[in-house]
Amino acid sequence: MIEVTPHDYRRMSELLSAYASLRLQAVDACLIALAECFDLREVATLDQRDYLVVAPRHLPKGQRLTILPGD
């Protein structure tokens, strides 16, 4: 269990605003914010669409999170 902090909520809000045209859901913004916070490069999700577009701050420019399970 991970406690979501006020910093995480602010980052989620930034992501939701920045990617409003994607209709990014709060749970996806939360997972991305936590990946940034914990320097994760892989996330487990069945919803790949958003993760192929959103650019996490902690990864080099142009790099995206790796989605698990992979094809």
CA separation for the pair 41, 64 (Å, rounded): 8
Residue whose entry in the numeric block shows the structure tokens 């993760």: 51
Sequential DSSP letters for 28-54: HHHHHHHHHHTT-SEEE-S--TGGGT-
The reported pTM is 0.89
Over range 8-20, report the average pLDDT.
97
Is residue 19's pLDDT more than 90?
yes
| Average pLDDT score over residue span 3-26 | 95
User: For 23-64, how does the pLDDT look when each residue is reduced to its tens digit (9 = 90+)?
Assistant: 999 999 999 999 999 999 999 998 888 999 999 999 999 999
SS3 content of the chain, % helix, strand, coil (to 5): 45, 10, 50
Task: For the chain, give every domain's residue range.
Answer: 6-68
Query: How large is the average pLDDT for residues 1-30?
Result: 95
Confidence check: pLDDT of 71 > 80: no
**In this structure, are residues 54 and 32 in contact, taking their beta carbons and an 8 Å threshold?**
yes
